[in-house]
């Protein structure tokens, strides 16, 4: 099972004692905005008439009008922003701001000061604040079938009663296909996929993919996608993560772990066994709660890895933003790393 290791694993309640009493009243008050087809922003909404979309759970979500008050997982909101859906995103949940107040990388180009943040970490989803926004629609990723990413199990029933939800798959399909689904969803909301911002981003993505394919063919090095924690070194599975699946389709020689943990995303290795797989390049998880090279330097087994000795470590945004604008830099970064890599095993 994939866990949100990008955030603190602590399980905290989101409702104070008695907070649930206010939910019913807020739920009733939310009804006024449902189905409003008022004037849309520059994203091309406001066409009027009923709206529907079939998400990746196979559920057809229908509303009397195009959603105008959208609350989304931060990464989902950032992807929609890249496709031109902006003014209608009123709230977000998930990694949004860093401790220094700057936007979390998952927020992309989203203006995090213009949206209500319902929780910055897992299990911090503020249900009362969500209800107070009068949401038309909740949008999030889906790493496991039917599971709403960053929607806490403890309050899921309350949350899903307040507004309908759309879930888009985020694994077990290649990156380009998932981006296509986000584009399709954004178009249903009124996004103009022929806008210069979108077509330029798509062209950059396609050029980056071609560059990565060329780099992989010219420099046949072995790459290990990995993540570090205090106790474990995680070797990630390129057969399940969307970005890694796509990198492999472009010819990148990604190492496949042979003893995967439950869920299939990675193999947990003790630090004594961190050298199990002979990698020339390490694609290292760069999420805020994972250990980075400066943190790992004190671990002797890390320092002994040939790729580390050669300085062949490149950042890995293991929860990519599913838009052309969000994904193109990931392809470019990996292409550059491979272009300058040499075999060390």
pLDDT tens digit at each of 345 positions of the chain = 454 443 333 222 222 222 332 333 333 333 333 333 222 333 334 457 999 999 999 999 999 999 999 999 999 999 999 999 989 999 999 999 999 999 999 999 999 999 999 999 989 999 999 999 999 999 999 999 999 999 999 999 999 999 999 999 999 999 999 999 999 999 999 999 999 999 999 999 999 999 999 999 999 999 999 999 999 999 999 999 999 999 999 999 999 999 999 989 999 999 999 999 999 999 999 987 799 999 999 999 999 999 999 999 999 999 999 999 999 999 999 999 999 999 998
- Tracing tokens 């599975």 back to the chain, one arrives at 237
State how many domains the chain has: 2
pLDDT digits (tens, 9 = 90+) for 33-54: 333 322 233 333 445 799 999 9
- Amino acid 287: pLDDT: 85
- Tracing tokens 């003790």 back to the chain, one arrives at 270
> Do residues 302 and 327 touch, judged by C-beta distance below 8 A?
no
Q: What are the Cα distances from residue 92, in Å, to 117, 118, 135?
A: 5, 6, 11
One domain for residues 183 and 260: no
Closest by CA position to 336, among listed 227, 249, 238, 216: 216
The CATH number that applies at residue 83 is 3.40.50.1980
**Termini Cα distance of the chain:** 32
- In whole angstroms, give the CA distance from residue 264 to residue 279: 20
> Do residues 139 and 85 touch, judged by C-beta distance below 8 A?
no
One domain for residues 254 and 173: no
One domain for residues 268 and 188: no
Residue 122 included in any domain: yes
One domain for residues 47 and 122: yes
Residue 98 included in any domain: yes
- In whole angstroms, give the CA distance from residue 192 to residue 194: 5
Single out the residue in 193, 216, 247 at which a domain terminates. 193
Sign of CA dihedral 11, 294, 322, 197: positive
- Amino acid 16: pLDDT: 26
- In whole angstroms, give the CA distance from residue 166 to residue 189: 12
One domain for residues 187 and 286: no
Single out the residue in 174, 193, 212 at which a domain terminates. 193
- Amino acid 288: pLDDT: 78
Residue 7 included in any domain: no
- Amino acid 2: pLDDT: 55
Q: Which domain holds residue 307?
A: 199-339
State CA 105 to chain mean position distance.
10
Single out the residue in 159, 193, 227 at which a domain terminates. 193
- Amino acid 149: pLDDT: 96
One domain for residues 52 and 176: yes
- Amino acid 47: pLDDT: 58
């Amino acid at each position: 099972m994939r866990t949100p290791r990008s955030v603190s694993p602590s399980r905290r309640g989101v409702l104070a004692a008695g907070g649930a009493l206010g939910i019913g009243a807020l739920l009733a008050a939310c009804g006024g905005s449902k189905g409003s087809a008022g004037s849309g922003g520059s994203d091309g909404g406001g066409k009027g008439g009923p709206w529907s979309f079939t998400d990746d759970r196979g559920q057809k979500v229908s509303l009397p009008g195009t959603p105008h008050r959208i609350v989304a997982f931060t990464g989902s909101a950032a992807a929609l922003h890249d496709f031109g859906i902006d003014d209608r995103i009123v709230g977000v949940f998930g990694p949004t701001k860093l401790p220094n107040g700057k936007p979390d990388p998952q927020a992309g180009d989203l203006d995090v000061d213009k949206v209500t943040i319902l929780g910055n970490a897992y299990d911090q989803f503020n249900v009362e604040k969500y209800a107070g926004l009068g949401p038309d629609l909740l949008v999030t990723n889906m790493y496991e079938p039917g599971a709403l990413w960053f929607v806490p199990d403890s309050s899921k029933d309350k949350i899903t009663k307040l507004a309908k939800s759309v879930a888009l798959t985020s694994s077990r399909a290649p990156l380009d296909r998932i981006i296509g689904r986000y584009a399709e969803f954004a178009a249903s909301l009124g996004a103009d996929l022929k806008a210069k911002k979108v077509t330029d981003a798509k062209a950059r993505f396609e050029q980056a993919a071609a560059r990565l394919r060329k780099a992989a063919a010219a420099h046949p090095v072995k790459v290990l996608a990995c993540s570090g924690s205090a106790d474990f070194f995680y070797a990630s599975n390129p057969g399940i993560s969307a970005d890694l699946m796509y990198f492999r389709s472009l010819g990148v020689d990604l190492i496949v772990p042979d003893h995967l943990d439950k869920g299939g995303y990675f193999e947990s290795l003790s630090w004594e066994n961190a050298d199990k797989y002979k990698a020339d390049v390490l694609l290292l998880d760069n999420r805020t709660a994972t250990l980075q090279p400066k943190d790992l330097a004190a671990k002797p087994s890390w320092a002994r890895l040939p790729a580390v000795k050669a300085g062949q470590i490149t950042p890995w945004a293991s929860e990519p933003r599913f838009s052309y604008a969000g994904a193109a830099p990931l392809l470019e970064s990996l292409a550059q790393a491979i272009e300058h890599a040499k075999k060390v095993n």
